[in-house]
Structure 1
Amino acid sequence: MNRWSHAVAVGLVLATAACSDRPAAITGAGATFPFPLYARWAEAYYGETQTRVNYQPIGSSAGIRQIRTGTVDFGATDAPLTGEELRKDGLVQFPVVIGGIVPIYNIEGVPAGQLKLTGEILADIFNARITRWNDARIIQVNQGVTLPDAAIAPVYRSDGSGTTDVFTTYLSQASEAWKGGPGAGASVQWPIGQGGKGNEGVAALVKQVSNSIGYVEYAYAKQTQIPVAQLWNAAGRFIAPDAKTFQAAAAGADWKPASGFGISLTNQPGEEAWPITSPTFILVHKAPEKPGQVVEVLRFFDWAFSKGDPTAVELDYVPLPNPVKDLVRATWQNEVKDKSGQPLLKKPS
Structure 2
Amino acid sequence: MPKNILIINSSAENNQPLFNLFEELKQRGYLLYLLSASSDLLNYFNEKRWPAEKTYFGPKLNSRFNQMIFFVLLPVLFLLSAAILLYYKKSKKITTAICLNWNEKIIIAPIAKILKIKTIWLERPDLDYKLLRKPLFQFYKLLSKRATLITFTNLAKIQLKNFGFNENNIKTISPGIRLNQWKYQDTIFDKLAQTDKHSRKRKYFAIGTVADLNPENSGQKIKNLLEVIKVCLTIIPDLQLIVVGGGAKRKNLIWLAKKMEIDNLVWFVGEPDSPSQGEHAHLKKWLDNFDIFVVSGEIPGLTAFEICLNAMAAGLPVIGPGGLGFEDMIHNRQNGILVEANNNEMLARQIIALYKNKRLRLELGENARKMAGEHFTIDKMAEEFEKII
TM range, smaller chain:
0.3 to 0.5
Give TM-score scaled by structure 1 length.
Answer: 0.35
Give TM-score scaled by structure 2 length. Answer: 0.33
